[in-house]
């Protein structure tokens, strides 16, 4: 039975053009879109067929149809390939091949009685133009962001890294709706193990559909229970190319404007490419500022709650008086008050993200200013707490990665609750737990907290603060790149005596 079927597909051609049409219409459930036109000349019959919305119809008319309509010409398979000025022509003879390529945007020409069908790739992908990055906006440096089109993304990346070593390994993901993904790395730099791990995880992936790069990230992450993202997903091509140049592995997925970068350290979520474009001292300052603001964002409100609930002694008398005055009319315990306000801020942020931009600003002002003032006047909250909460909300937005910023904002809630129950002991417990948790995490099998632990002195100058360029002669050694040296450090550091 099976053998017979295979035989049938093998001897699919030659066929009458009408027969072919019937077969195609039967195979395609939704055959309305199938455009099937028959050209008849004195000596032969030709059939041209394609899926109307998948192909560039302008191009078909200009090149293919124009040539075919040339009078008194006898076409053969070879003359179709040689004389028509389209460079993607190829022969096909299997029905299945024909069907999949029809979906992928091929145009087919069949000469009645021929053994093969000729196909031309004339794909037409709808895509938007390149735009500025929205979630990871930068002040100076390249502004362009990835788009939803894989071809565009690869094009941008290739253009940024014109290296022969750049590998764009193709891999298909998803069972029911396959999607193309590319593993991108520099062959001469990237660590083999990392590339192999990434390839293995993608190959072993057994899902029906990969919706987006961020979903793929969650499929292949090391730990799915943690709140911290373990791979960096970026929409900035310069960030992606920077990481790949340093020996990391990138993954881009069709229909997703994000590229995944792995392995990643916890600290790289607070690095912005802007740090590189600025002078090293200003860049380092901004990076340290981001670390501090993460700390503030997690700790400030819980500290207030702990101090006001349990440890009045901690606050000097002067400050205690003003805090006491502002809290005098508030009937709620501090933990409830803090949770209420944190929730309000989150609510404003979420509404701001969902609302249309024109309405969004109005709502922001109404929500932030009017409600805030009214809440203080009504005696529901103290204005000192409002200051703290606003600072910690602002601080959480300094993280260049939106995913990390969200994680930090979520972390505040358990911290506030711990501070409200156990006071300062609760805060230290929470911080200790977080540090231990971060120590346990890995990204693509590499420790999350490198280079702090496992400690590597030579990498510190790339992570916590950024040293001047002449100290950056080595790549990130903790990830063991194949090629460790970026440039000769000695040459860069050559010193001269005065007046030489």
Partner 1 sequence: MDINVKVKPNLSIRAFYLFFIIASLQLGVGIMGAPRFLYKEAGTDSWISIFIAVAYIFAVLFVMILTLKQYENADIFGIHRDLFGKWIGNLLSSAYIVYFIVTLFSVLITYIEVVRVFIFPTISPLTMGVILLILGIYSTLGGLRIIVGVCFLFFILTHWVLLLLIEPAVQIDWGHFFPMFQTPFPDLLAGAKASAYTFIGFEILFLVYPFIQNKEKLHFPVYMSVAWSGLLVLVTTIITLGFFTGVQVERREWTLLSLFKFQQFSFIERLDFVVVAEWMMVIIPNIILLFWGATYGIKRLYNLPQKITIYALAVPLLIGCWLIDEHFQIQWVIEKVNGFGFWLVYVYPFLLLPMVLIKKKWNQHRRGEKNET
- The residues of the shown chain that bind partner 1, judged by CB under 8 A, are 310-311, 313-316, 318-319, 422-425, 427-429, 431-433, 435-437, 439-440, 447, 449, 452-455
Toward partner 1, which CB reaches closer, 172 or 319?
A: 319
Q: How far apart are the C-alpha atoms of 378 and 374, rounded to whole Å?
A: 6
Q: How far apart are CB 496 and partner 1 at their closest, in Å?
A: 37
Q: How far apart are CB 448 and partner 1 at their closest, in Å?
A: 10
Q: How far apart are CB 318 and partner 1 at their closest, in Å?
A: 8
Toward partner 1, which CB reaches closer, 162 or 225?
A: 225
Toward partner 1, which CB reaches closer, 86 or 422?
A: 422
Q: How far apart are the C-alpha atoms of 255 and 249, rounded to whole Å?
A: 19
Q: How far apart are CB 455 and partner 1 at their closest, in Å?
A: 7
Toward partner 1, which CB reaches closer, 278 or 418?
A: 418
Q: How far apart are CB 422 and partner 1 at their closest, in Å?
A: 7
Toward partner 1, which CB reaches closer, 139 or 436?
A: 436
- Coil/strand/helix, residue 235: coil
Contacts of 373 (CB under 8 A, 6+ apart): none
Closest CA to 450 of 461, 439, 436: 439
Toward partner 1, which CB reaches closer, 340 or 439?
A: 439
- Coil/strand/helix, residue 399: coil
Toward partner 1, which CB reaches closer, 105 or 447?
A: 447
Toward partner 1, which CB reaches closer, 75 or 310?
A: 310
- Coil/strand/helix, residue 183: strand
Query: Residue 484 — φ and ψ, nearest 5°?
Result: -80, -25
Q: How far apart are CB 456 and partner 1 at their closest, in Å?
A: 10
Q: How far apart are the C-alpha atoms of 349 and 409, rounded to whole Å?
A: 11
Toward partner 1, which CB reaches closer, 313 or 500?
A: 313
Q: How far apart are CB 322 and partner 1 at their closest, in Å?
A: 12
Asked whether 131 and 103 are in contact (CB, 8 A), the reply is no
Closest CA to 417 of 313, 343, 316, 345: 343
Q: How far apart are the C-alpha atoms of 199 and 193, rounded to whole Å?
A: 10
Contacts of 99 (CB under 8 A, 6+ apart): 27, 28
Question: Which segments of 201-242 are extended strands (E)?
Answer: 232-234
Asked whether 182 and 171 are in contact (CB, 8 A), the reply is yes
Count of alpha carbons within 13 Å of 396, Cβ hemisphere only? 25
Asked whether 259 and 250 are in contact (CB, 8 A), the reply is yes
Q: How far apart are CB 142 and partner 1 at their closest, in Å?
A: 36
Q: How far apart are the C-alpha atoms of 154 and 184, rounded to whole Å?
A: 9
Number of CB atoms found within 10 A of residue 129's CB: 6
Q: How far apart are CB 319 and partner 1 at their closest, in Å?
A: 6
Q: How far apart are CB 224 and partner 1 at their closest, in Å?
A: 17
Asked whether 456 and 267 are in contact (CB, 8 A), the reply is no
Toward partner 1, which CB reaches closer, 159 or 453?
A: 453
| Alpha-carbon distance values, 136 to 96, 220, 257, 352, 405 (Å) | 44, 23, 12, 17, 11
């Amino acid at each position: 039975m099976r053998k017979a079927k295979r035989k049938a597909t093998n001897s699919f051609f030659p066929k009458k053009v009408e027969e072919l049409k019937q077969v195609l219409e039967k195979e395609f459930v939704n055959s309305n879109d199938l455009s099937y036109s028959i050209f008849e000349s004195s000596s032969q019959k030709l059939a041209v067929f394609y899926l109307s919305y998948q192909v560039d119809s302008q191009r078909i008319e200009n090149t293919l149809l124009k040539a075919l309509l040339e009078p008194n010409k006898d076409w053969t398979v070879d003359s179709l390939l040689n004389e028509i000025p389209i460079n993607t022509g190829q022969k096909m003879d299997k029905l299945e091949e024909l069907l999949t390529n029809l979906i992928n945007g091929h145009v087919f020409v069949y000469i009645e009685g021929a053994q093969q069908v000729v196909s031309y790739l004339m794909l037409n992908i709808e895509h938007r133009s390149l735009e500025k990055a929205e979630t990871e906006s930068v002040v100076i440096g390249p502004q362009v962001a990835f788009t939803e089109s894989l071809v565009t993304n690869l094009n941008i990346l290739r253009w940024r890294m014109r290296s022969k070593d750049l590998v764009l390994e193709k891999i298909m993901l998803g069972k029911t709706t396959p999607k193309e993904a590319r593993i991108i790395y520099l062959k001469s730099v990237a660590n083999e193990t990392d590339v192999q791990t990434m390839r293995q995880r993608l190959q072993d992936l057994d899902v029906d559909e990969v919706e987006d790069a961020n979903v793929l990230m969650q499929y292949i992450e090391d730990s799915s229970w943690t709140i911290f993202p373990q791979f960096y997903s970026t929409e900035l091509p310069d960030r992606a190319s920077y990481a790949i140049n340093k020996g990391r592995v990138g993954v881009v997925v069709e229909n997703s404007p994000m590229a995944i970068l792995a392995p990643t350290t916890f600290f790289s979520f607070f690095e912005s490419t802007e740090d590189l474009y600025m002078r090293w001292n200003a860049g380092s300052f901004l990076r340290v500022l981001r670390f501090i603001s993460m700390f503030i964002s997690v700790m400030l409100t819980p500290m207030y709650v702990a101090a006001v609930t349990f440890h009045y002694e901690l606050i000097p008398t002067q400050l205690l008086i003003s805090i006491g005055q502002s809290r005098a009319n508030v009937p709620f315990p501090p933990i409830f008050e803090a949770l209420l306000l944190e929730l309000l801020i989150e609510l404003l942020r979420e509404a701001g993200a969902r609302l249309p931009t024109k309405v969004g600003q109005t709502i922001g002002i109404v929500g932030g200013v009017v409600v805030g003032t009214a809440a203080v006047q009504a005696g529901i909250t103290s204005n000192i707490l409002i200051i703290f909460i606003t600072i910690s909300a602002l601080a959480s937005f300094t993280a260049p990665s939106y995913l990390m910023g969200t994680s930090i904002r979520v972390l505040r809630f358990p911290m506030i609750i711990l501070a409200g129950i156990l006071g300062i002991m609760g805060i230290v417990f929470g911080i200790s737990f977080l540090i231990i948790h971060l120590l346990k995490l890995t990204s693509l099998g590499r420790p999350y907290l490198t280079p702090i632990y496992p400690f590597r002195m030579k990498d510190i100058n790339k992570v916590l603060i950024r040293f001047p360029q002449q100290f950056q002669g080595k790549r990130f050694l903790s990830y063991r790149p194949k090629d460790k040296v970026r440039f000769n450090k000695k040459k860069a550091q050559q010193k001269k005596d005065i007046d030489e």
